[in-house]
Structures are given as C-alpha cells and as structure tokens.
Amino acid sequence: MANTSSRTLRLLSLLQTHRYWPGTELADRLEVSVRTLRRDVDRLRELGYPVEAQRGVDGGYQLAAGAALPPLVIDDEEAVALAVGLHSATRVDGIAEASVRVLAKVVQVMPTRLRRQVDALRAMTVPATWGGSAETAVDPAVLTVIALACRDDERLRFAYTAADGARTDRHVEPHRLVPLGRRWYLVAYDLDRHGWRNFRLDRLTGPAVTGARFRPRELPAADAAEFVRRGLKEMPRPYQVEVLVDAPAATVRERIGRWCTVEEVDAGHCRIHMTSDDLAWPAMALGVAGADVHVLEPPELRTELHAWAARFRRA
C-alpha cells in the first residue's frame, strides 16, 4: 500500500479523474510530502506521460495529451459503458479488429457481476446492421470468446452449420478473427480435418475453450484476410442502389445523408447512391426520405417497394 508503484498508479488515476490538482492536495491524498509528490510527478513524466503544471496562485497539475496513451484507470460503471460501446464499434470498418481486441481485454478482467450488467444492457442497444437480417448479426459473447481464444492460443470447440445446412461439431486451433465485407470470419486449423478452414461467425454456435493451449502453426497464406478472401468461392455481390429523388439535395442529405451519398441534379431533384446486401435497407431509407422516388437501379428494388406499398395500403 505504501508502495511507490502503487502510489504512482494512484497518482495517475487521480490525474485522470479531475483535471486540475493543487500539489498540496495531491500530496495529502497520497500521504506523502510535497517534495515526494514532485518526484512522483517527475517519474510519470519520465514514463512519457505529459503532466503539465501551472505555477503561481491557484496553480496545479494536469494530465495533458501526449504521444503515448497512459493506462486508463476506470471504475465499474465506466467499464460497463466501455464494453457496451465497443460492441457496436465491432461493426465499423477499420477498427473492428481493434475493438474486439480491447473488448476481450476488458471482458477478461471484468468481475462477473459487471459482465451480467453488460449482457443485460447490450440487449437494449439497437444493432447497427441496418440492412442485415438477424442472421448476419454476431452474438458479442461469441465474438469475445473467440477473440480471447485467438489471443491466448487456446483450443476451441463449437457447432458449425455449413452453407448447405449440415451441422457439425468442430475442434480447432483458432488463429485470427477477420472482419470482411459485413461479416466476421474465424481462420482456424481444424484438428479433426487436419487443415486450415474459414468459419463464418454467424454460422457458429456455442464456442467454448477447452483449456488446452497450443503452439501456433504457420498459416499457408500471406495473412489471415488473404486466406479468407481466397476461401470465399463467391462473394455475395451487394446491390448497387441508384435512385432519383424529387426533393432538394440539401433536404435529402439532412434526412438520410448518413446512409448514402447524395448528389444534386437540379434545385428540386437529386440522385442518391448506396450499397447494400439487402433491399430492406434502401427501402427504409427511401421511406424516411419523405419524397417521391424513381428507382434507376436495381429493378428488384422497385419490386420490393411495390410490395411494401401494397402491404402498407392494406394496413
């Protein structure tokens, strides 16, 4: 308790919870002399954390933005918020992997009572997979279990439903999680089939680590993403949606600009473009647009809209 490293950590935590701290108060809280506090601050600075100080009346210390990130000291509530938030970040291109990595990190050290809270709250958050039907959504618990197994080189068992509907039990050495397109894939070495395989996470249920660790094998590909791409026979080609809207570009952009690109045609018309695997998404967007539309591409969207129209008219 009266340790130096412990105190350094506590100082870091204090500096993170409130910006300005008078030296005397910090010294008081840490139960050391002001001189020692100054030395502690120096220590933090030597570790690369930019602690700035202001002299004079009402001066104090503050933690500024630096080159490296200091260890984040968080409390229970904040950890829950973190876990819930990261869940939705796993869908954002470019940071999906990093999200899963931190998520695994947080979940691993989180007390079980907090984990229950997280599970309860996650149920309330709206999944961000707009166009996706339920099958494309990945259970976050599945994601973290597998992420941890990959990270820690632990063997994994799960049930897998192949594209043709055949259900099999698998025993694998997980290698890496790869977000590709709008899906997650697990690249793993199948221990029963003696070869590398791709698994779509949304077709995988009940993953559980066996507890056995393994020495990673070498993947027969440049990297995991490359391996997945190679393994995919045919990518489901997404629809390229192109629609003319009878409304000013500015209006349309304000209403649905977040989901598509809007291009001005003239004062009262614009053209929008979006990409989607599923026709429900563009249909929703066009509904929210609140103006007459003319579908240019694809023809199937027209059928979809007419189907919605028929149903809504009967409502």
Long-range contacts of 162-166 (CB under 8 A, 24+ apart): 162/203, 163/203
13 binds, among DNA, a second copy, none (CB under 5 to 8 A by kind): a second copy
3-state secondary structure of 211: strand
* 24 belongs to the binding site for DNA (CB under 7 A): yes
* 93 belongs to the binding site for DNA (CB under 7 A): no
Q: Which residue has the tokens 């630096």?
A: 66
Closest distance to a second copy from the beta carbon of 233 (Å): 27
Cα Rg of the chain (Å, integer): 26
Q: How far apart are CA 81 and CA 290, in angstroms?
A: 35
Closest distance to a second copy from the beta carbon of 311 (Å): 5
Q: Which two tokens stand for residue 5?
A: 């490293």
How many CA atoms lie less than 13 Å away from 259 in the CB half-sphere? 20
22 binds, among DNA, a second copy, none (CB under 5 to 8 A by kind): DNA
The residue range among 18-26, 93-101, 118-126, 243-251 that interacts with DNA, by the rule CB under 7 A, is 18-26
CB-nearer residue toward DNA: 24 or 205: 24
CB-nearer residue toward DNA: 22 or 48: 22
Question: Binding residue for DNA (CB under 7 A) from 9, 17, 28, 42?
Answer: 42
Q: How far apart are CA 88 and CA 256, in angstroms?
A: 20
265 binds, among a second copy, DNA, none (CB under 5 to 8 A by kind): none
Decide if 105 contacts 152 (C-beta within 8 A). no
81 binds, among DNA, a second copy, none (CB under 5 to 8 A by kind): a second copy
Closest distance to DNA from the beta carbon of 16 (Å): 17
* 220 belongs to the binding site for DNA (CB under 7 A): no
Question: Binding residue for DNA (CB under 7 A) from 33, 133, 240, 303?
Answer: 33
Beta pairing, strands 154-161 & 167-180: antiparallel
- Chain residues 228-287 in contact with a second copy, contact rule CB under 8 A: 254-255, 257-259, 280, 283-284, 286-287
Decide if 61 contacts 26 (C-beta within 8 A). yes
Question: Binding residue for a second copy (CB under 8 A) from 8, 36, 161, 198?
Answer: 8
Q: How far apart are CA 153 and CA 39, in angstroms?
A: 41
| CA diameter of the chain | 79
DSSP 8-state secondary structure symbol assigned to residue 125: S
Residues that bind DNA (CB under 7 A): 2-4, 7, 22-24, 32-36, 38-43, 53-61
